[in-house]
Amino acid sequence: MENKAGLDISILIIIATMGVMVLIFFIIFIVLLYQKRMLANKTAMANAEREHKEELLRTSLEIAEKERQRIAANLHDDIGITLNVVKINLKRFEKNIDKKYVVQEIVNESNQMIDKSLETVRAIYNDIVPVTLMKLGLIRAIMEICRQLEKSMPLDLHLSTHEYTFKDKGKEIQLYRLIKEVLNNTVRHGKPEFIEINIERIEDNLIVIILHDGIGITTEEVKDRAKKSTGIGLRSILNRSGLLDADMEFSVISAERSQVLIRCKIE
């Protein structure tokens, strides 16, 4: 009996030992599996961060290239034509130097062309370095955009805001360009008669809400069109928001009201 009891205890000890070993191996397996998943997650996060940085770089290069092309087109179409006309006028001047009325006509025409070219140069310069923005800040620059839009077309435009100060001037310029692109895109494609812009600071975020009564679009539609060649303007808007790390939401509230919301950190 004692031998049998001793045997039973030995078996129990062996079973208990094996159970403990199995538990230890199971714990080690779980720990290794957890570490493997953590490593995989870190790798995925590192890859995602690298891809995000690469996308931001591609975006900044794309935006810069688009702006260079626009400037080049303006210079070619406006300044280039003016210089050609002035060159032709100089040849006419040489041929008609004895005809006072022809000379005066040539001078007047050349002065008009030069004045238009100066306006174009000022517009290009203001587009590259917005003077109002640099001197008076974002809100005054947005007011200037609103005045230009109301002057160029029949549009009822309202702006509700207060003065805000940006510590990061580069970020302020990018936000200005983003708002300008959204407004230009809305006017061009939405064809609204009424636009209301509300700019408000909530904690460290600047919230820009653009309401209009034109043709609306949703965020999903924006992303879909941006993937196509016809959505170059929308892709540029999304790219700018990505560079700013800003949130953008496009929504159709009703048949007569659509909205664009921009949320951007200003600290």
DSSP 43-82: HHHHHHHHHHHHHHHHHHHHHHHHHHHHHHHHIIIIIIHH
More confident: 45 or 236: 236
pTM over 0.85: no
pLDDT-wise least confident of 41-50, 96-105, 256-265: 41-50
- Same domain? For 152 and 203 the reply is yes
- Same domain? For 34 and 121 the reply is yes
Check which CATH number belongs to the domain holding 205 and give it: 3.30.565.10
Q: How far apart are CA 185 and CA 234, in angstroms?
A: 8
More confident: 154 or 226: 154
Which whole number is the average pLDDT over 88-109? 80
- Same domain? For 117 and 12 the reply is yes
Look at residue 173 and tell me whether its pLDDT is greater than 90: no
Candidates 171, 175, 194; CA nearest to 259 is 194
What are the pLDDT digits (tens) for 17-49? 776 677 777 777 777 776 777 777 677 666 666
* Domain edge (last residue) among 92, 126, 160: 126
State both tokens at 40. 């995989």
* Domain edge (last residue) among 80, 107, 126: 126
Which whole number is the average pLDDT over 116-130? 73
- Same domain? For 134 and 233 the reply is yes
Q: Within 10 A of 132 (CB to CB), how many other CB atoms are there? A: 17
Of the pLDDT bands very low, low, confident and very high (cuts 50, 70, 90), residue 215 is: very high
- Same domain? For 261 and 136 the reply is yes
More confident: 216 or 126: 216
* Domain edge (last residue) among 126, 159, 188: 126
- Same domain? For 39 and 76 the reply is yes
- Same domain? For 229 and 191 the reply is yes
Q: How far is CA 161 from CA 142, 166, 178, 199, in A?
A: 10, 15, 17, 5
| Per-residue model confidence (pLDDT) at position 130 | 78
| Per-residue model confidence (pLDDT) at position 28 | 75
Q: Structurally, how many domains does the chain consist of?
A: 2
- Same domain? For 184 and 200 the reply is yes
- Same domain? For 122 and 246 the reply is no
Look at residue 1 and tell me whether its pLDDT is greater than 60: no
- Same domain? For 156 and 183 the reply is yes
φ and ψ at 218, to 5 degrees? Answer: -100, 165
Break the chain down into helix, strand, coil percent, rounded to 5. Answer: 70, 15, 15
- Same domain? For 11 and 116 the reply is yes
- Same domain? For 110 and 17 the reply is yes
Range of the domain at 253: 129-265
**Contacts of range 184-187, beta carbons closer than 8 Å, 24 or more positions apart:** 184/233, 185/233, 185/234, 185/237, 186/210, 186/212, 186/214, 186/260, 187/149, 187/153, 187/155, 187/214
Look at residue 3 and tell me whether its pLDDT is greater than 60: no
146 and 132 in contact (C-beta within 8 Å)? Answer: no
